[in-house]
């Protein structure tokens, strides 16, 4: 696949994987992207997961048609992108590895090699001339590892963006970009909004015509849309007006309450209501929805004088990813000593910019006229 006349895609699709990073469900697989810039000198942009080394090197050989690459640019040292560095360097003994100083530190830790005589250490603003193409390096620390660099090809105006603008899903599957890019962003990059914003500010004056990420499709049209979403996500802004309801339920009564609240919100004209069963649904989807919408409802039974375990895990996920600047409402259930709301409130009020919406709904075992009235009152408060 040609990105431009001189830039060729040589990545691979992975349909063998079940969990990305050992935790994220990827029903449509993953893409490990790599590119080659063919000029007077040849630069390969990153490698791929260990299981696909032979396929990747075959793709590279086909793209070069007998030429040997001069450089391997390593933008990110996570093994899904770096695992074939040594295989590449052994295959092309005259090639030079190009990376940040921190990347070379990680290289030794991961693979036990240093390439002291075959390395080029680059930093913010450094350039590498290939001929008519000039690669300019942009430091992107903590997006989402400290060694990350991005690379801008000033000739074709292509940004190689490392993991930024990536998404779950292989490239041979058609699916909505935003849904899986959002889940990817908030699950993997979301804690580092400040650092993402810093890089976006660097790129604000750069004329980018195509974005080549390490996962997901090459972006060539409507780039303002993708950059705009990233600006919103990095600033922890509200992307879509609506309410996310995340619930746990033991015998179905708290689930019934959550679904009643959803129907009351829809009746009140709420533009979007997303409901998640934290015990059964993909928790990463629940995290995505919590960040997407401006309001979050947490509904949990009391369990061991605390909230239900899946709810505790969910709130911990939100805290780990710097959840902030949202309205949060609480629904608790308890047969003899309801305590889930107190426990949930303590956790969410420790987060930045959280407004707890009143009333807090308390259910005594199962819904009755009183708790239904509380839910209607909460729906009215949330719909304002």
State the average pLDDT for the chain.
Answer: 97
In 319-355, which positions are buried (b, 16+ CB within 10 angstroms) versus exposed (e)? bebbbeebbbbbbbbbeeebebbebbbebbeebeebe
**Pairwise CA distance, residues 168 & 177, whole Å:** 9
**What value does the mean pLDDT take over residues 194-222?**
96
pLDDT, position 9: 98
- Tell me which residue has tokens 């911990």: 316
Which DSSP helix (H) or strand (E) runs through 380?
helix 369-383
pLDDT in tens, 248-281: 999 999 999 999 999 999 999 999 999 999 999 9
* pLDDT the model gives residue 226: 97
- Look up residue 370 and give its two tokens: 């009183």
* Residues 6 or more apart whose Cβ sits within 8 Å of residue 226: 165, 177, 181, 211, 219
Exposed / middle / buried, residue 30 (Cβ in 10 Å: 0-12, 13-18, 19+): buried
- Rounded-to-integer distance, Cα 344 and Cα 302, Å: 10
Superfamily of domain 240-379, CATH level 4: Flavodoxin domain (3.40.50.360)
Contact 32, 48 (CB under 8 A): yes
Report pLDDT for 370: 96
* Residues 339-343, mean pLDDT to the nearest whole number: 97
Q: 197 and 322 in contact (C-beta within 8 Å)? A: no
Quote the pLDDT of residue 1: 82
Say how many C-beta atoms besides its own lie within 10 A of residue 289's C-beta: 25
130, pLDDT greater than 90 = yes
Spans of all domains in the chain: 7-234, 240-379
In contact, 377 and 384? CB cutoff 8 Å: no
Residues in the chain: 384
Residue closest to 249 by CA, chosen among 221, 281, 272: 281
The Cα–Cα gap between 277 and 314 comes to 11
Is it the case that residue 27 has pLDDT exceeding 90? yes
Residue 381 pLDDT > 90, yes or no?
yes
Residue 384 pLDDT exceeds 90: no
Distance CA 323, CA 290 (A): 8
Give the domain 7-234 fold: Metallo-beta-lactamase; Chain A (3.60.15)
pLDDT in tens, 353-366: 999 999 999 999 99
Please state the pTM of the whole predicted model: 0.94
Average pLDDT over residues 215-226: 97
């Amino acid at each position: 696949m040609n990105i431009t006349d001189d830039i060729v895609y040589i990545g691979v699709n992975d349909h063998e994987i079940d969990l990305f990073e050992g935790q994220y469900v990827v029903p449509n697989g993953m893409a490990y992207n790599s590119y080659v810039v063919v000029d007077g000198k040849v630069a390969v942009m990153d490698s791929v997961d260990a299981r696909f080394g032979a396929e990747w090197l075959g793709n590279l050989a086909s793209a070069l048609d007998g030429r040997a690459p001069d450089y391997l640019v390593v933008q990110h040292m996570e093994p899904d992108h770096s695992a074939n560095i040594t295989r590449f360097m052994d295959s092309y003994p005259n090639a030079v590895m190009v990376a940040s100083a921190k990347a070379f530190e990680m290289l030794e830790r991961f693979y036990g090699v240093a390439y002291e005589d075959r390395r080029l250490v680059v930093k913010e603003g450094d350039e590498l001339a290939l001929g008519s193409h000039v690669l300019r390096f942009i430091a992107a620390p903590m997006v989402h590892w400290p060694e990350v660099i991005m690379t801008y090809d000033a000739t074709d105006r292509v940004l190689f963006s490392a993991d930024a603008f990536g998404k779950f899903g292989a490239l041979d599957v058609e699916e909505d970009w935003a849904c899986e890019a959002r889940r990817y962003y908030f699950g993997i990059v979301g804690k580092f909004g400040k650092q993402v914003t810093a890089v976006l500010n660097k790129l604000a004056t750069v004329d980018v015509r195509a974005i080549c990420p390490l996962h997901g499709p090459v972006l060539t049209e409507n780039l303002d849309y993708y950059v705009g979403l990233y600006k919103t996500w990095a600033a922890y802004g509200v992307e879509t007006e609506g309410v996310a309801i995340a619930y746990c339920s033991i015998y179905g009564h708290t689930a019934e309450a959550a679904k009643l609240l959803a129907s009351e919100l829809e009746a009140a004209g709420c533009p979007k209501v997303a409901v998640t069963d934290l015990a059964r649904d993909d928790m990463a989807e629940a995290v995505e929805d919590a960040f997407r919408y401006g309001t979050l409802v947490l509904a949990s039974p009391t369990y061991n004088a605390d909230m239900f375990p899946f709810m505790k895990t969910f709130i911990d996920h939100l805290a780990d990813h710097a959840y902030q600047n949202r309205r949060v409402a609480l629904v608790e259930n308890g047969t003899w000593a309801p305590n889930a709301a107190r426990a949930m409130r303590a956790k969410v009020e420790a987060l930045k910019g959280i407004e707890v919406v009143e009333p807090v709904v308390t259910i005594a075992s199962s819904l009755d006229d009183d708790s239904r009235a509380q839910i209607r009152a909460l729906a009215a408060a949330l719909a304002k």
